[in-house]
Amino acid sequence: MSTPFPSDLEIAQAAEIQPISDIAAEAGISEARLEPYGKNVAKVLLDETTTAENALKKGSKYIVVTAVTPTPLGEGKTATAVSLAQGMGKTGRKAMLTLRQPSMGPTFGIKGGAAGGGYSQIIPMQKLNLHLTGDFHAVTAAHNLLAAMIDNHLHHGNELNIDTRSISWRRVLDVNDRALRNVVIGLGERMDGVPRQTGFDITSASEIMVILSLATSFDDLRERLGRIVIGYNHDGDAVTAKDLKADGSLAVILADAVNPNLLQTLEHTPALIHAGPFGNIATGNSSIVADYVGLEHADYVITEAGFGADMGAERFFNVKCRVSGLRPDAAVLVVTVRSLKSHSGLFKIVPGKPLPEDMLKESPADVEAGAANLLKHIEIVRNFGVQPVVAINAFPTDFESEHQKIREIAEAAGARVAIHRGVAEGGAGATDLADAVAAACDDHSELVYTYEDSDSLETKLEKVATKVYGADGIEVAPAAKKQLAQFEQLGYGNLPVVIAKTHLSISSDASLKGAPTDWALPVREVRLAAGAGYVYAICGTMRTMPGLAKSPAAERIGFDEKGTMVGLS
């Protein structure tokens, strides 16, 4: 971005924000369902109308925004989703966004925030990037109360005969704190508990965060909380939150968090911000109930799935839609010139450092050299039976010839294509994209799952690896095979699967760019998320608690001498 372009925070602070009650009224959300949190944010209360049936009845269009395999810098997926929603408004269509809530931890780490960018942002961005309405805090509190009840149970005699070595329920905090990854607790004297090794994850990695995102109602949330498996007893039986009598209290703690949060874009498009599960070990999708509310009120509901189409979108189709009963009408594939140049394998991008100089030179050939990745993602979307729309997120440093090259490649693959300049121009820069997406929605989509509920867990993993990722097969470690058998024996064989792998390659090897072939997915370990309702396979080193950089954003966030908040971006 050229120097005189204002910062995201400056744009957000200069924005004219509308009272959230006006946004709600415009969207047809009744006053009675609105719980204000300040003047510019409100919760939309779930009620008996918040169901899949009602969401489907209106015939609204349901669009998921996904992307090619991203560079470490990200490709502007949220900015594109916001641009598209604003573009829908500019072209006279009634749209609503449903997005994940950003995690506070990374706000003070590298990123300084996550709310779109430039003239395609969610506001008030200071609220969005901090506490918002406290849903993450509620997840943290519920998660840690369950942990305290586990250790309290051990302390008071362990009546349930829990095998302490099997306890998989860790603690969570919404802060980047590497020193909490591995800890020993219960030290001190006899009255200070039972010593054991455990650790902390970031709150977005909590199973309760996934439960919040996948629950179809508050009753469903309560039942899922009760089903959480925290470990096993010495007979190998699962020990649940219900066994510990914790489910009622967890539900009480989450009673407000279950309601989605209403905010707005810079152009006053309503945006429901709700839940924020991790994209690598979890589903990486916003909440089902927010989508229900959106489809009940808008003609176009635009949601976003984390990372590339192999990651968040695969789970959107195979897990979220399976649970919600909703069917997408189009999938937007975000692509940038720099992402395809990166997939050429000719350059190395390092976060926090400037792009390699050669990457900024005009070169359609370098773009074409990375085309395999885009083509693979188009194929992934098509295989789910959904209409793809390739959205080129234009940067000021791009060249027309490079955009043209992407258009040729995607159109040759039969996809609709549109360039958007939403970051620089807002909705006015995304009217072509809005038209292309609307046309795709009028075309035929019919969701096809990659696997059946009745497939074995191993078959499910294999089908995702081969049919989605393009692997030759999977290599399941003996310990993982044993775990899968145990899960099936305990009655969890019908659950869908999530594959926890790197997001920086379609394969499980982050260094492989483009569309890797001739590889097998190594399944090292599998874990059960019984409350969320899936089994996940660990394929690589998964970090569930980030660290802070040497000079983190936290050192620059604060107030200037005029009392204006600075440092968020």
402 among the known binding-site residues?
no
- Contact pattern from residue 118 through residue 157 relative to a copy of itself, giving x for each residue in contact according to CB under 8 A and a dash for the rest: ------------xx-xx--xx-xx--xx-xxx-xx--xx-
Mutual orientation of helices 135-155 and 207-214 as an angle, nearest 10°? 130
Separation of alpha carbons 471 and 314, rounded Å: 15
Mutual orientation of helices 371-383 and 400-412 as an angle, nearest 10°? 40
6 among the known binding-site residues?
no
- Among the candidate windows 172-180, 205-213, 349-357, 463-471, which touches a copy of itself by CB under 8 A? 172-180
Sign of the torsion formed by the C-alpha atoms of 27, 30, 33 and 35: positive
What residues from 34 to 53 belong to the interface with a copy of itself (CB under 8 A)? 35-39, 43
- Among the candidate windows 171-179, 325-333, 447-455, 528-536, which touches a copy of itself by CB under 8 A? 171-179
The answer to whether 349 contacts a copy of itself (rule: CB under 8 A) is no
Separation of alpha carbons 310 and 433, rounded Å: 22
**Cβ contact 148:220 at 8 Å:** no
Q: At its nearest, how many Å lie between a copy of itself and the CB of residue 181?
A: 5
Q: At its nearest, how many Å lie between a copy of itself and the CB of residue 402?
A: 37
Separation of alpha carbons 40 and 128, rounded Å: 11
User: Contacts with a copy of itself: how many residues (CB under 8 A)?
Assistant: 70
What residues from 92 to 111 belong to the interface with a copy of itself (CB under 8 A)? 104, 108
Identity of the residue, 146 or 281, whose beta carbon is nearer to a copy of itself in the bound complex: 146
The answer to whether the peptide bond before residue 4 is cis (omega within 30 degrees of 0) is no
What residues from 191 to 220 belong to the interface with a copy of itself (CB under 8 A)? 191-194, 197
Residue 524 CB burial class (10 angstroms; 0-12, 13-18, ≥19): middle
For 247-284, b/e burial (b = at least 16 CB within 10 A) is bebbbebbeebbbbbbbbbbbbbbbbbbbbbbbbbbbb
Q: At its nearest, how many Å lie between a copy of itself and the CB of residue 41?
A: 10
Joined tokens for residue 408: 């040729």
The answer to whether 255 contacts a copy of itself (rule: CB under 8 A) is yes
How many other CB atoms are found less than 10 A from the CB of residue 445?
Answer: 21
The 3-state DSSP class for residue 319 equals: helix
Identity of the residue, 184 or 412, whose beta carbon is nearer to a copy of itself in the bound complex: 184
Strands 95-99 and 229-232: unpaired
98 among the known binding-site residues?
no
Q: At its nearest, how many Å lie between a copy of itself and the CB of residue 239?
A: 15
The answer to whether 550 contacts a copy of itself (rule: CB under 8 A) is yes
The residues that touch a copy of itself, with contacts defined as CB under 8 A, are 35-39, 43, 104, 108, 130-131, 133-134, 137-138, 140-141, 144-145, 147-149, 151-152, 155-156, 173-188, 191-194, 197, 222, 245-249, 251-253, 255-256, 547-548, 550, 552, 554-559, 565, 567-568
Going by the annotation, the residues of the binding site are 71-78
Going by the annotation, the residues of the binding site for ATP are 71-78
